[in-house]
Structure 1
Amino acid sequence: MSTVSVRPKLIVAAAAAIVAFSLPLRAQDTAPDAADGIADLLAQLEQADPAEAKRIDRQIKMKWANSGSASMDLLLKRGREAMERGDLDMAADHLTALIDHAPDFPEAWHQRASVWFQMGRYGLALSDLEHALTLNPNHYEALFGLGVIMEQLDRPELAYRAYDLVQRMHPHYLEAAEAMKRLETQVQGRKL
Structure 2
Amino acid sequence: MRYFRFSPLILAATLAASPTLAQTAAPSPPAAPTGTQAAPASAPKPANPLDPLFEALKRERDADKARGIATQIMTDMNESGSATVDLLMQWAATAIKEKRNAAALDFLDQVTLLDPAYPEGWNRRATLHYTMGNSRKSMADIAEVLKREPRHFGAIAGLAGILMENGRDELALKAWEDYLAVYPADRDAQEAVTKLSEKIAGNRT
TM-score scaled by length of structure 2: 0.72
Give, in angstroms, the shift of residue 16 of structure 1: 10
- Check if 1:45 corresponds to 2:72: no
Over 3 Å counting, the alpha-carbon distance change for 1:180 and 1:84 in structure 2 is: farther
| 2:107 is the alignment partner of 1:94 | yes
Residues 44-79 of structure 1: CA distance to partner in whole angstroms, max 9, x if unpaired? Answer: 011222222122111101111111111111212222
Query: How far did residue 173 of structure 1 move?
Result: 2.4
Larger relative contact order (CA 8 Å, sep ≥ 6)? 2
Alignment match, 2:13: 13
Maintained 8 Å contact 1:116/1:122: yes
Identity %: 29
CA RMSD of aligned residues (A): 2.6
Distance 1:76 1:115 in 2: 12
Q: Is residue 63–residue 186 contact of structure 2 (8 Å, CA) maintained in 1?
A: no
| Structure of higher CA gyration radius | 2
Number of residues paired by the alignment?
Answer: 167
Matched residue, 2:68:
55
Residue in structure 2 matched with residue 84 of structure 1 by the alignment: 97
In structure 2, C-alpha distance between the alignment counterparts of 1:173 and 1:16, rounded to whole Å: 30
* Unmatched segments (≥5 aa) in structure 1: 1-10, 18-30
1:121 counterpart = 2:131? no
- From the two aligned structures, give the one with the greater helix fraction: 1
Look up the equivalent residue of 2:58 and give its one-letter code. E
Structure 2 counterparts to residues 139-150 of structure 1, below 5 A: 139-150=152-163
C-alpha contact 2:63 2:187 (8 A) present in aligned 1? no
Q: CA deviation at 1:136?
A: 0.8
Report the residue type matching 1:45 in the other structure: L
Secondary structure of the corresponding residue to residue 35 of structure 1 = coil
Distance (whole Å) between structure 2 residues aligned to residue 81 and residue 36 of structure 1: 30
* Per-residue deviation, 1:94: 1.4
> Tell me, which stretches of 5 or more residues in structure 2 are unaligned?
1-10, 18-43
